[in-house]
Amino acid sequence: MRIAVFDSGRIGIVEGVDVFDVCGGDPGPAGPLQSFLDSGRPFTTRGAAVPLSSVRLAAPLPRPPKIIGAPVNYAAHRTEMAAGQSIAELGLFLKASSSVIGPGQAVRLPYTDVRTDQEGELAVVIGRAAWHVPVERALEHVFGYTCALDITVRSTEDRSTRKSFDTFTPLGPWVVTADEVPDPGDLMLRCRVDGELRQEASTRDLLFGVPELIAYASSVCTLWPGDVILTGTPAGVGPINEARSIEVEIERIGRLEVSVDAGQAIPYADRPRAGVGA
């Protein structure tokens, strides 16, 4: 199933050009899909179909309990970044849950004069709590998959700062349930900026694949339903400072497109407390 959140709080199943309204109501700030995942209940109703083109898709999980990132998880990206270490030495990082946006929304650049990059990534949505899960059983904890961008400022701060600006984690356009993705380690990912192909790679090339990421992450912290794991980006990252649109497309999952807005960017030297303690 392709499960979408649309029109401020409805859950729908997307089939072809239609979306079937299945439930909604007052889900709170974490959104209706989070409340569905927390409850563990199945979809029991299936309303009328409306054209997908007539609804406004929202982030499937606007406030995930955690967003876990995988640094330097493709060898070719390690080479382009001249990174001395990979995920094996770096471990994982966390992004603020407040950084999520949905399809069609805008990534807001914080700085006029610091490079900010796109990182197209496969995202995993956890469906069942996981703690110290072995690799062989890790995929049993996956609810589904979606497309993600891990937007990143290239400055000196810790990853959790550089990647946590509001709007820096676009997710969508929907979550494809795990039964439709038998092998998350065999998906083509493409990322375009203003229509220009920048990233094209297979998840075969992940250093830690999805089962290894879940096993490792769950050895550090309990994974909860709704947690999102960003699996890392392949080679081809680059600046979006002059860009207008970014799209990431993943085989079997879909295509997520967002715009870029530099309207509120400030000079890096004007950020709060710049230079204090230097």
Beta bridge partners, 108, equal: 261
Piece of the chain touching Mn ion by CB under 5 A; list 33-41, 97-105, 117-125, 129-137: 117-125
In the bound complex, what is the minimum distance in angstroms from residue 35's beta carbon to Mn ion?
28
Closest separation in Å from C-beta 253 to Mn ion: 17
Contact between 233 and Mn ion per CB under 5 A: yes
Binding mask 146-165 for Mn ion (x = CB under 5 A): ----x---------------
119 binds Mn ion (CB under 5 A): yes
Nearest position to Mn ion, beta carbon:
150
Q: Is residue 187 within 8 Å of 16, Cβ to Cβ?
A: no
Closest approach of Mn ion to the CB of residue 19, in Å: 30
Among 210, 247, 236, smallest CA distance to 77 is for: 236
**Judged by CB, which is closer to Mn ion: 57, or 70?**
70
Min CB(121)–Mn ion separation in Å: 6
Give the residue with the Cβ less far from Mn ion, 150 or 257. 150
Binding site for Mn ion (CB under 5 A): 119, 150, 233
